[in-house]
Amino acid sequence: MAVLIDETTKVVVQGLTGKEGSFHALRNRAYGTNVVAGVTPGKAGLDVEGIPVFDNVASAVAETGADTSLIFVPARFAADAILEATESGVALAVCITEGVPAADMARVHSYLEGKHTTLVGPNCPGLISPGKANVGIIPGEICTPGRLGLVSRSGTLTYQIVHELTQLGIGQSTCIGIGGDPVHGVDHIDALRMFQDDDETDTIVLIGEIGGDAEERAAAYAAENVTKPVIAYIAGFEAPPGKRMGHAGAIVTGSSGTAAAKAEALEAAGVRVGKTPTEVAQIVQAVV
């Protein structure tokens, strides 16, 4: 069934009436996603090209049965929006917003423990199950339905690799952009577990970058728990230590978080690591 989202997913967009929110919500709807509601405090009763707007997530969920929230609110309101979505009982919250303070995310992370809401993001492109649903800003045109699951910390690098896969005729079950911030929701390990358990996914592509140790931990997890082939790509071999490379989480601190260490850990775990986005697609083609 793909993972996290499919043709039955019902989306409420927090920040629907904003420029970004309306643009992407309408694109997602045009893709075939059930965008059932929007939320902007104080604007209940309006609609955006037929999508009804509510004052809060709880009433949107009550009225429309939305089970997934897509968040486009400004960074200073993002933590509040995620908490509201969680308390309103949606199963999935996808936060696209970039620049959310780390302290806010640490509190959100602590709050989410034990709750039944899964968070994707923030600072992410969202996720897509090609042919079924698109929740976020990944361009649907570059994807094609298939049996490859992809997880990535990056946006455009994901598009690049998906594009190369699609051109080689390799379709995707679900592509998940988990985001480039230090504290975030779904991580590489969660994605590996979901793809391993998904009977519509045969092969997994894992895209990482410098900073933290998520890829190293994913490597250890894959070695123990994943029987499907995993192909990886790591960006940032040329990044100097101590410099933030765009993403808040993309920084080599001292000797930890380097691309070389990550690639090495993945290869030691039996994961094949492509040297370029093109080589990743070629390895996948050879495997499937």
Partner 1 sequence: MDLYEHQGKELFAKHHIPVPQGIVATSPEEAAKANDQLGGRSVVKVQVQIGGRGKGGGIKLVSSASEAAEAARVMLEGGFKDMKVIRVLVEEQLPIAAEFYMAITLDRTSGDYLAMVSSEGGMDIEEVAATKPDALRRRHIDPMLGMQSYQARFLAGGLPEDARGPAAEVVQKLWGLMEDSDATLVEINPLVLLEDGRVVALDAKVTVDDSALYRQAELAELANVFPIDPTEARAKREGLQYVKLDGSVGIIGNGAGLVMSTLDVVAQAGGKAANFLDIGGGASAGLMATSLEVILSDPAVRSVLINVFGGITRCDLVAKGILEALERVEARVPLVVRLDGTNAEEGRRILSDAAHPRIVPKPTMLEAAAEAARLAEVS
Give the binding range for partner 1 (CB under 8 A) out of 43-51, 107-115, 168-176, 219-227. Answer: 107-115
235 near partner 1 (CB under 8 A): yes
User: 50 or 254: whose CB is closer to partner 1?
Assistant: 254
> Nearest distance from residue 228's CB to partner 1, in Å?
23
- Amino acid (1-letter code) at residue 109: H
Site for partner 1 in 253-282 (CB under 8 A): 254-256, 259, 275-278
Q: Say how far apart CA 211 and CA 245 lie, in whole Å.
A: 10
Query: Facing residues of 119 across strands?
Result: 93
Neighbours of 254 (CB within 10 A): 8
Q: Say how far apart CA 10 and CA 37 lie, in whole Å.
A: 9
Query: Facing residues of 13 across strands?
Result: 38, 70
Element (H, E) at 248: none
188 belongs to the catalytic site: no
Binds partner 1 (CB under 8 A): choice among 249, 258, 265, 281: 249
Give the binding range for partner 1 (CB under 8 A) out of 7-15, 38-46, 64-72, 244-252. Answer: 244-252
> Nearest distance from residue 220's CB to partner 1, in Å?
12
Q: Say how far apart CA 206 and CA 194 lie, in whole Å.
A: 13
Q: Is 263 helix (H, G, I), strand (E, B) or coil?
A: helix
Instruction: Decide the pairing of beta strands 126-129 and 133-136.
Output: antiparallel
List of residues contacting partner 1 (CB under 8 A): 75-76, 99-103, 105-107, 109-111, 125, 137-139, 141-142, 152-160, 163, 180, 182-183, 207, 209-214, 217, 233, 235-240, 242-250, 254-256, 259, 275-278
Query: What are the residue numbers of the active site?
Result: 247
